[in-house]
Structure 1
Amino acid sequence: MTPTDVHSLVGAYVLDAVDDLERAAFERHVGECPSCRTELDELRETSARMADSTWSVPPPQLKSSVMAAVGRTRQLPPPETIKPERKLRGSRTQRWTLAAAAAVVLAAGTGTTVFAIQDQRVRDQSAIASAAELRQERIQSILASPDLVVRTSPMRGGGKVTVASSATRNASVVALGADSAPQSDQAFQLWSLRGDTATDAGVLAAGEGSAVQVVDGLPGNDGLGVTLEPAGGSKVPTAPLFAKVSLT
């Protein structure tokens, strides 16, 4: 890479548009070139100011305005007709113009990306809220069932588990409240119990000491068990049971 090539990298370097080899060469060069250091500092300041507005949606007319400005910009004459001192200034002006235009495009693109991310977050929050509302409606419908049966059991270490079951809904609402929450790498796990068989009925979040869960298919089983498992749950229950609610 020639010295001229290294000088021309200042705009691309500010916009992080260089490869590893070009970045290393320019960083070595800029330590020895006061002119490039000055231009680097000025262009960084300009790019930072132009990026101040990237957190808002770019105006629809931005692209047309930039393209119109490009059309009005006077082009420099061919290099052979320019005197050496003017050629240097022209080269630097061209680099500034290209870098500034790139910064504008970068800012516009960033703004659009941020808008898309924010829009997706709004959609995600809306979906979470809708799911929570449907879950609450289902809990209320189970608790309002005329055949509702409520049973409780104390928990090892303090607290209790309440199971409200509806055979017609074939579902139960399980409310667990422990006096002491598990450690951050452990979680309470629910099990439907039938004879000697225990089937996973849901795992609470790690470190969570209280929760309300809907368990489908629980009515008709012998009981509900609660164990303390590693975060994420286990395939088989770990003894001892922290609680057992009889459903028969």
Structure 2
Amino acid sequence: MSREPHTLAGAYAMHALGEEERAAFEAHLRACEECAEEERELRETTARLGAAVAAPPPAALRARVMSEIGVVRQLPPAVAPRPSRTAARRGRWPHAATALAAAAVAVAASLGVLAVRAQGDLDRARQEERALAAELGRQREDAQRVADVLAAPDARTARSRGGGETTAKIVVSHARQAMVFLCDGLPALPGGRTYQLWRIGPAGALPDATTVPDAAGRTVPIVLGAPGDATQVGVTVEPTGGSPRPTTTPVLLMDVPSA
């Protein structure tokens, strides 16, 4: 094994080792409970990362786009008016012709209004689809950043337990200048509130990401900023959008592993 085995847990969990290193690391795992525990936790983090980006776009959105396409009426080709058979027939039915023309104009106007409305609905559906595609792209970028931290040779894990069933951990890579946070068992918050993470060091608490857990109290893996000289990561409850400084007592505190 060309690299220190204790540094390979993240790369192993991400299936990023070659055959020789993988076999050697698996042998090491059987004798090192610390690495085995870290590998299990990193594998769990990787699985949650995959679940976070695997959700397909809502079926309702595609159905809406397709239904709107179906109702947008295309304008028919212009057709030259047919000449009348006789001038006499035109003279015999002037009032009927006028009424029919007026009715045709009214129908055409109604169809035009419907077409404009349908086109507007289609445009909105397409905008929603583009926004969804952009959001999925952002999630994939975040997933790649998480994967980079987990697979870093110097990745280290720290854990913390809050009140009740709350447990959390951070994966820190000084080489990648980033940290990954995830949590289970966070209590639900009332409207207008969010959880905010902080990097805490000699200069105080630096604001970082905000998150709202799912119904089970779980968060997706969240990439935080560079650990720098931070000694702890904290979690507080803040107004939606976050705060420039903590306004409540931390519900979680985790020590940042040193480089």
TM bin, normalised by shorter chain, reads 0.5 to 0.7
Q: Does 1:210 align with 2:218?
A: yes
Per-residue deviation, residues 127-173 of structure 1 (Å, max 9, x unmatched): 22222222212211110101011101112343122110100100000
2:136 is aligned to: 129
Supply the distance in 2 between the matched residues of 1:73 and 1:201 (Cα, whole angstroms).
Answer: 76
2:148 is aligned to: 141
2:238 is aligned to: 229
Offset, 1:102: 0.9
Q: Does 1:68 align with 2:79?
A: yes
- Structure 1: where are the runs of 5+ without partners? 1-52, 75-80
2:38 is aligned to: none
Is the 8 Å Cα contact of residues 57 and 115 (structure 1) preserved in structure 2?
A: no
Identity of aligned residues (%): 22
Per-residue deviation, residues 100-140 of structure 1 (Å, max 9, x unmatched): 01122223333433333333333222222222222212211
Is the 8 Å Cα contact of residues 186 and 206 (structure 1) preserved in structure 2?
A: no
1:244 is aligned to: 253
Is the 8 Å Cα contact of residues 149 and 155 (structure 2) preserved in structure 1?
A: yes
Supply the distance in 2 between the matched residues of 1:218 and 1:99 (Cα, whole angstroms).
Answer: 69
Is the 8 Å Cα contact of residues 151 and 245 (structure 1) preserved in structure 2?
A: yes
Off by >6 Å, runs of 4+ in structure 1: none
Is the 8 Å Cα contact of residues 186 and 213 (structure 2) preserved in structure 1?
A: no
Offset, 1:239: 2.9
1:104 is aligned to: 111
Supply the distance in 2 between the matched residues of 1:140 and 1:95 (Cα, whole angstroms).
Answer: 68
- Structure 2: where are the runs of 5+ without partners? 1-66, 85-90
Per-residue deviation, residues 73-92 of structure 1 (Å, max 9, x unmatched): 98xxxxxx999xx75x6665
2:123 is aligned to: 116
Per the alignment, do residues 200 and 134 of structure 1 end up closer, same or farther by CA in structure 2, a change over 3 Å counting? same
Q: Does 1:194 align with 2:205?
A: no
Equivalent residue letter for 2:230: N
Is the 8 Å Cα contact of residues 186 and 228 (structure 1) preserved in structure 2?
A: yes
Deviates more, 1:206-215 or 1:174-183: 206-215
Offset, 1:207: 7.9
Supply the distance in 1 between the matched residues of 2:188 and 2:214 (Cα, whole angstroms).
Answer: 6
Q: Which has the larger radius of gyration?
A: 1
More RCO (CA 8 Å, sep 6+): 2
**What is the TM-score with the length of structure 1 in the denominator?**
0.62
2:23 is aligned to: none
How does 1:46-85 map onto structure 2 within 5 Å? Answer: 55-56=69-70, 58=72, 62-64=75-77, 67-68=78-79, 71-72=81-82
Equivalent residue letter for 1:190: L
Offset, 1:218: 2.5
User: Root-mean-square deviation (CA), in Å?
Assistant: 3.1
